[in-house]
């Protein structure tokens, strides 16, 4: 995909919101990584999709994964909540730890892991249920509410935090699919946060949305990163610059470079990163 973007545009956009409030350098000093990927190699049958990925993801920050189509961004995301387990023929080698605990260790409860690591997909995918039941779904399965009042509280709080409650409070029993695309995506985010995950993975969450709905989701990502560790895959350099504190650039299955977003976009070390962010490859 050709990115019609100039180098100076990226630099201007890289004045991201969170770094103004909370200097990135300061945060780096006090935090240990939330997620550590060490020598991750992923294969689909005989075809290798990721090569020796070493990447630390910092807690309560937004990390953007960028890179050309097919470079392995989604594959890497799926390593974190073991969604690759669901793909026949897919093998993951290497170590991936959350809070220092091996996600691939024997005896890890994958259902529990996926409750700790929520996921929001490119296309909003509300369940064929009411708005209320969409958000209540995970809380019910994981037994987070002891009675109906508790459940209502979880639903209302999650919708509020996803910035959707005011728009849907009079139609909670209507189908989730009756909402607009941007509202459906916020519903999916409400559904993800209702079970209090520690990490939220977002795979191109705005690619099906208009600029207004996109801005709404970006504000939300910014707010959510106060409490959650967020990884967002995006094809928009401007979006990566606006929402993330850190950026990792993937190319042909390799992690080429990662670091503070402002540095990656202003003074990338690798020629491939430079070529990608200025629209010369990808």
Ligand X SMILES: Nc1ncnc2c1ncn2[C@@H]1O[C@H](COP(=O)(O)OP(=O)(O)OP(=O)(O)O)[C@@H](O)[C@H]1O
Residues found near ligand X in the complex (CB under 6 A): 44, 49, 67, 69-75, 87
Number of shown-chain residues binding Mg ion (CB under 5 A): 1
Q: How far is the CB of 256 from ligand X (least distance, A)?
A: 13
Query: Which residues have C-beta within 8 Å of that of residue 16, sequence separation ≥ 6?
Result: 241, 242, 243, 244, 245, 261, 262
Q: What is the DSSP letter of 184?
A: H
Which residue, 13 or 203, has its beta carbon nearer to Mg ion?
A: 203
Task: Extract the tokens encoding 98.
Answer: 């959350």
Task: Please identify, using beta-carbon distances, which residue of 132 and 250 lies nearer to ligand X.
Answer: 250
Which candidate, 85, 8, 74, 95, places its Cα nearest to that of 232? 74
| Minimum distance from residue 75 beta carbon to ligand X (Å) | 3
Nearer to Mg ion by Cβ, of 63 and 74: the residue is: 74
Mapped onto helix, strand or coil, the DSSP state of residue 98 is: strand
Q: How far is the CB of 241 from ligand X (least distance, A)?
A: 18
Burial degree of 166 (CB within 10 A; 0-12, 13-18, 19+): exposed
Nearer to Mg ion, 74 or 261 (CB): 74
72 binds, among Mg ion, ligand X, none (CB under 5 to 8 A by kind): ligand X
- Shortest gap between Cβ of 51 and ligand X (angstroms)? 11
By beta-carbon proximity to ligand X, the closer residue of 71 and 190 is 71
Which is nearer to ligand X, 18 or 246 (by Cβ)? 246
Write down the least CB distance from residue 73 to Mg ion, Å. Answer: 5
Decide if residue 236 touches Mg ion (CB under 5 A).
no
Residue 100: C-alpha distances to residues 28, 34, 78, 96, 103 (Å): 17, 8, 18, 9, 9
- Burial class for 263, CB neighbours closer than 10 Å (0-12, 13-18, 19+): middle
Residue of minimal Cβ distance to Mg ion: 74
C-alpha–C-alpha distance, residues 120 and 140, integer Å: 19
Which DSSP string do the residues of 2-70 spell out, in sequence order?
A: -----HHHHHHHT--HHHHHS-HHHHHHH--EEEEEEEEEEEETTEEEEEEEEEEEETTSEEEEE-STT
> What, of ligand X, Mg ion, none, does residue 69 touch, CB below 5 to 8 Å by kind?
ligand X
Nearer to Mg ion, 11 or 125 (CB): 125
Least spacing, CB of residue 46 vs ligand X, in Å: 10
Both tokens of 74, joined, read 């989604």
Segment lying near Mg ion (by CB under 5 A), choices 66-74, 94-102, 123-131, 219-227: 66-74
Binds Mg ion by CB under 5 A, chosen from 14, 63, 74, 84? 74
Look at residue 158 and give the partner it binds from ligand X, Mg ion, none, a contact being a CB closer than 5 to 8 Å depending on partner kind: none
Residues in contact with Mg ion by the rule CB under 5 A: 74
């Amino acid at each position: 995909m050709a990115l019609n973007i100039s180098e100076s545009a990226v630099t201007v956009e890289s004045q991201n919101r969170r770094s103004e409030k909370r200097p990135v350098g300061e945060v780096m000093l006090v935090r240990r990584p939330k997620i550590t990927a060490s020598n991750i190699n992923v294969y689909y049958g005989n075809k290798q999709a990721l090569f020796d990925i070493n990447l630390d993801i910092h807690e309560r920050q937004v990390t953007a994964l960028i890179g050309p189509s097919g470079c392995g961004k989604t594959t890497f995301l799926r390593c974190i909540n073991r969604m690759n387990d669901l793909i026949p023929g897919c093998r993951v080698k290497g170590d991936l730890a959350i809070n220092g605990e091996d996600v691939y260790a024997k005896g890890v409860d994958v259902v529990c892991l996926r409750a700790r690591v929520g996921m929001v997909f490119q296309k909003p995918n509300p369940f064929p249920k009411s708005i209320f039941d969409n958000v209540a779904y995970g809380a019910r399965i994981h037994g987070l509410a002891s009675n109906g009042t508790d459940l209502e509280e979880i639903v209302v709080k999650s919708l509020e935090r996803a910035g959707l409650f005011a728009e849907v409070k009079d139609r909670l029993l209507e189908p989730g699919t009756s909402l607009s695309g941007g509202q459906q995506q916020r519903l999916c985010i409400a559904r993800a946060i209702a079970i209090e995950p520690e990490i939220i993975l977002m795979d191109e969450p705005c690619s099906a949305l208009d600029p207004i709905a996109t801005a709404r989701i970006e504000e939300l990502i910014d707010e959510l990163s106060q409490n959650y560790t967020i990884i967002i895959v995006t094809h928009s350099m401007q979006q990566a610059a606006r929402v993330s504190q850190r950026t990792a650039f993937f190319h042909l299955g390799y992690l080429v470079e990662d670091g503070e977003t402002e540095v990656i976009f202003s003074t990338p070390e690798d020629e491939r990163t430079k070529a990608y962010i200025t629209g010369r490859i990808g």
